[in-house]
Chain A
Amino acid sequence: MASQVKRAEIIFAPYSEYPYKILGEALKKSPDEIIEALIQSGLRGRGGAGFPTGLKWKFAKEAQGDEKYVVCNADEGEPGTFKDRDILVKVPRKMLSGMGICAHVIGAKKGFIYLRAEYDYLKEALQKEIDFFHQHCEKYGLDFHVEIKSGAGAYVVGEETALLNSAEGKRGEPRNKPPFPVTEGYLNKPTVVNNVETFVNAMMVCRIGAEEFAKYGMRGQKGSKLFSIAGDTTKPGVYELELGLTVEELVNEFGDGNTKAVQVGGVSGFCVPRAKFKDKTIGFPGKDDVNYIPTGGSIMLFNHTRSMYHVLENYLEFFEEESCGQCTPCRVGTQQLLKGIKAIKKGEKDPEYLDTLYKLAETMKVTSKCGLGQSVANSFCSIVDEFKEEIIY
């Protein structure tokens, strides 16, 4: 079968110009011009939440403050995601260019890359790239300094306000929002926190122009996206594809012929069963559109040999350990969901108890403080909806 998947080559495209050419050119443009281009391009944050990048930069630019910060979120912890790792290894200059352009736009003199502890082994090479970047900043007259801040093993720190707390040397617990980081971020100063891939994309908008960038994407989605493909697939790896493809198109390309379900967006995302592959599109949903599933890039495929009970149990163990414990719905909810499905499986609880757990997950969605607790219901409910028998018997 011919491939239906539309590949894009923006992010890993070979860098034909001399290093940091685009950065130099972008610095000659006015901040407003760059913000306008980003808004026109339709670029939305690539970490998963999908906030419009142009607007984020605009808010930070307009925020009052003598000191501002540019933060690159390289705390890639969502299970099944490893695309930022590839960017950091293969095209760090594109990411650093994006950070430099952001500094120019918002008026920041300092920035840092928050690198997860699991990627400590990338630190040395990355530091060399930062030194090289600083040379070019100096050449172009950009007063901007970047450092690496290392994480210490905590999934929740991928949430931007938790990341800022961690960078300040505190427990990595999410903050209340508002205030948002664009007005009160690192050390309570206006801060842009963007994902690694978002900075690369922002740089690419400057390179190819908003119009050209917006040509990528299908079914109303803008741009290309890196996908981390893993699990029961014949070719695991990082692929750059146009946004807006259906799960079916993805499975046809990457499945092993026996795909039973696909987890889109990591453990905090949704599980799609085979019967719905056709209906579900990968991209940012419009209002109330249940058929679009956003993702930070994690795609995990499961074939018919996998027990979905086992999958769910593994997810819940993950959530239970990674819940920061700050708010009760998430701390106790994750424990009870895990305990509950085990009890049903062992026959210690009636199958009807699953309905109670389902309600608990829905309650967590509306009462948890941050995205971690709120998103447990995504995978829990989608697996229970589609694979109820496997969970009970």
Chain B
Amino acid sequence: MPDTTKLIENLVEKYGKKRESLLPILKGIIEEERYLSEERMLEVAKALDISGAEVYGTASFYSFIDLKPRGKHIIRVCKTIVCDMKGKNEVIKTIKDCLGIDVGETTTDGMFTLLQTNCIGQCDHAPAMLIDGEVYNELNAEKVRNIIKEYKLNRQN
């Protein structure tokens, strides 16, 4: 676990101590810790000299800023109409089977969180999902199993 005070200091230095820097700073924390805890929000508020409510208000608005602890890898499966038509349910079911978790849950080893998301702009290659921001599209059960396997293997190495 990196030193978070240092992390926030670095982020503030990188983006500047101004209101416009709030989102990039929050995203920077998410990148390191996968979610935004109450403590981090207060630390950021202090660093930018704004109220904690301002930070929480902004953070809670955005779906990619999680306020609950998440796994190391966050899987976001697109559930909007085209992906839904092209087999999103099968993708979800396959991931559930592979990882033994439901949508919204995190594996007990803290490696994966399964979420659904709205349109990610891959409708021409539906169904699609994001894992930590990487796009995986034209999915089917076999492809999904292989992707998950790959992620699990990388963990061991």
Same complex origin of A and B: yes
A contact set with B: CB distance below 8 Å:
76-82, 84-85, 116-121, 149-155, 166-173, 187, 228-232, 236-238, 267, 300, 302, 306, 311, 314-315, 317-318, 321-322, 324
The CA of A259 and the CA of B37, in the complex, are separated in Å by 48
The CA of A147 and the CA of B95, in the complex, are separated in Å by 37
The CA of A78 and the CA of B82, in the complex, are separated in Å by 12
Residues of B near A231 (CB, < 8 A) are 81-82, 85, 123
- Say yes or no: A321-B118 contact (C-beta < 8 A), given A230-B82, A232-B85: yes
Quick check: A152 and B26 within 8 Å, CB to CB? yes
Quick check: B62 and A170 within 8 Å, CB to CB? no
| B61-96 interface with A by 8 A CB criterion | 61-65, 79-82, 84-85
| Total cross-chain contacts (CB, 8 A) | 124
Quick check: B85 and A236 within 8 Å, CB to CB? no
- Say yes or no: A172-B119 contact (C-beta < 8 A), given A79-B80, A167-B20: no
Quick check: B61 and A150 within 8 Å, CB to CB? no
Residues of A near B81 (CB, < 8 A) are 79-80, 231, 267, 300, 311, 314-315, 318
The CA of A173 and the CA of B121, in the complex, are separated in Å by 22
Q: A154-B62, A171-B58, A237-B124 are in contact. List 11 more A-B contacts (CB 8 A).
A: A80-B81, A81-B121, A149-B24, A152-B62, A155-B119, A171-B57, A231-B123, A236-B125, A314-B84, A317-B79, A318-B81
- Say yes or no: A119-B121 contact (C-beta < 8 A), given A152-B26, A314-B80: yes
By beta carbon, the residue of chain B nearest A122 is B135
Quick check: B123 and A236 within 8 Å, CB to CB? yes
A-B contact pairs, 30 of them (CB 8 A): A77-B118, A78-B119, A81-B123, A82-B121, A85-B121, A116-B121, A117-B133, A118-B119, A118-B121, A118-B130, A149-B23, A149-B24, A152-B62, A152-B65, A153-B63, A155-B119, A168-B19, A169-B21, A173-B61, A230-B82, A230-B126, A231-B123, A232-B85, A267-B80, A314-B79, A314-B84, A317-B79, A318-B81, A321-B118, A324-B61
Residues of A near B5 (CB, < 8 A) are none
Does B22 belong to the interface (CB within 8 Å)? yes
The CA of A322 and the CA of B118, in the complex, are separated in Å by 9
Quick check: B23 and A155 within 8 Å, CB to CB? no
Quick check: B27 and A228 within 8 Å, CB to CB? no
CB distance from A306 to the nearest CB of B (A): 7
Which 8 A-B pairs give the minimum distances between C-beta atoms? A169-B22, A153-B64, A152-B62, A230-B123, A153-B63, A236-B124, A79-B119, A171-B61
- Say yes or no: A82-B124 contact (C-beta < 8 A), given A169-B22, A306-B85: yes
Residues of A near B120 (CB, < 8 A) are 118
Does B122 belong to the interface (CB within 8 Å)? yes
Quick check: B58 and A170 within 8 Å, CB to CB? yes
Does B134 belong to the interface (CB within 8 Å)? yes
Residues of A near B124 (CB, < 8 A) are 82, 228-230, 236-238
The CA of A168 and the CA of B58, in the complex, are separated in Å by 11
Say which residue of B27, B79, B85 sits within 8 Å of A152 (CB atoms). Answer: B27
By beta carbon, the residue of chain B nearest A119 is B121
Quick check: B119 and A80 within 8 Å, CB to CB? yes
Does B117 belong to the interface (CB within 8 Å)? yes
Residues of B near A306 (CB, < 8 A) are 85
- Say yes or no: A121-B134 contact (C-beta < 8 A), given A230-B126, A311-B81, A324-B61: yes
